Amino acid sequence: MSRLDNSDNPDLARLDKETEVEIIDAVRVPDSANPVMPVRLRQDDEFTFRCHQGVSCWNDCCHGADITLTPNDILRLCAHLDIRPMEFLKTYTVPGMWDRADLPVAKLKMSDADGKGACQFLTEEGCSVYEHRPATCRYYPLGLASVKPKGADEKEDFFFLVREQHCCGHNEDKTQTVAAYRKEQGIEEYDDVNRGWMDILMKMASWKNLGGPGGKDIAPQTKQMFFLVSTNVDGFRSFVFDTKFLETYEIDPEAVEILKTDDKVLLRLGFDWMKNVMFNEPTITLKEPILHEAMAKARENLGAM
Ligand code: SF4
Ligand code: SF4
């Protein structure tokens, strides 16, 4: 029997339907006619597109763009700009919501009061942070979505093409596979580091119609913590080392040393922990005495001895 055969639990049974969620949404001008091509692309599928300085729309897509920053975007841009996440968030982002999952995210700040102006990283020559540009900018004009087929344990990624009218890159004569484009754009590293974050967005989006995990919305403090883990490794590191976190969870002493300096490992821990807090997944283990205490409390709440 599949782990997702939830016929005894109505909430889980309702969740066990095909769920499709766009993780990287490539639409730059949301008020135009829907430009998303209704075809699921796999890695070996081909599409025709090329962007270069000679196109008449050069840099059009870097104005008024709605760009959600992934955790790896923030790591890479902070390292490149030689600033800490707090300063980066204040200077280059605006707070936003990832509506499909009701979770807070940081979005890249566009200039002008209405946010329709140029991206702050745009110069006459093009993107000034090109080597470290966000995942959404790398993916464009592709989007990334995940689908969990009904009855399956695992979700699968697929891609979709966005043909916005302003983008002339679709009229160029370069045809490539999705895999080749992803390689050229350096996307694999981003998907790898962002995996835990993407899993949580996907899972929350699937629960959304039921009001949240187990039918309940998650607490505002948990959403704030998700934002902290996703956007500010310094803040989350302080949380791990300056609170009772390490007394509460089983973390290998060698890993504790690594967590002091390795931001990517810290992110992995953060999202494993969030999955445990939000969905009760066994991604992180409570220490024995804490576990016994929690079990005693649970028994007490159930009215047992
Ligand atoms: S980060 Fe670079 S590519 Fe992305 S919107 Fe800004 S200028 Fe354009
Ligand atoms: S071709 Fe498309 S991606 Fe390239 S600059 Fe023009 S609008 Fe942007």
Q: What is the per-residue pLDDT for 113?
A: 79
Amino acid occupying residue 224: Q
Contact 7, 13 (CB under 8 A): yes
State what percent of residues in the chain have pLDDT above 90: 65
pLDDT by residue (tens digit) across 18-56?
Answer: 677 788 876 777 666 778 887 899 999 999 999 999 999
Question: Is the per-residue pLDDT at 16 higher than 70?
Answer: no
Mean pLDDT of 173-179: 96
- Does 112 or 186 have the greater pLDDT score? 186
Mean pLDDT of 75-80: 98
Q: What is the per-residue pLDDT for 6?
A: 43
At residue 285's C-alpha, the angle toward residues 284 and 288, to 5°, is 165
155 Cα: distance to centroid of ligand 1 (angstroms): 30
Task: Tell me which residues have their CB closer than 6 angstroms to ligand 2.
Answer: 51, 55, 57-61, 140, 166-169
Q: Is 92 exposed, middle or buried (0-12, 13-18, 19+ CB in 10 A)?
A: buried
Helices (H), ranges, the chain: 10-15, 71-81, 85-92, 135-139, 178-184, 188-207, 220-231, 233-242, 245-248, 253-259, 263-279, 288-301
pLDDT by residue (tens digit) across 136-151?
Answer: 999 999 999 888 777 7
Contact 142, 181 (CB under 8 A): yes
Mean pLDDT of 269-285: 94
56 Cα: distance to centroid of ligand 2 (angstroms): 9
Mean pLDDT of 254-277: 96
Q: What is the per-residue pLDDT for 208?
A: 77
CA Rg, the chain, in Å? 21
Mean pLDDT of 128-141: 95
Distance between CA atoms of 155 and 199, rounded to whole angstroms? 9
Alpha-carbon separation of residue 53 from 27, 56, 116, 168, 171 (angstroms): 21, 8, 22, 11, 14
Residue having the nearest C-alpha atom to atom 1 of ligand 2: 169
Task: Tell me which residues have their CB closer than 6 angstroms to ligand 1.
Answer: 62, 65, 67, 119, 121-122, 127, 129, 133-134, 137
Structure tokens, 237: 């590191």
Question: Is the per-residue pLDDT at 67 higher than 90?
Answer: yes
Averaged confidence pLDDT in the chain: 87
State what percent of residues in the chain have pLDDT above 70: 88
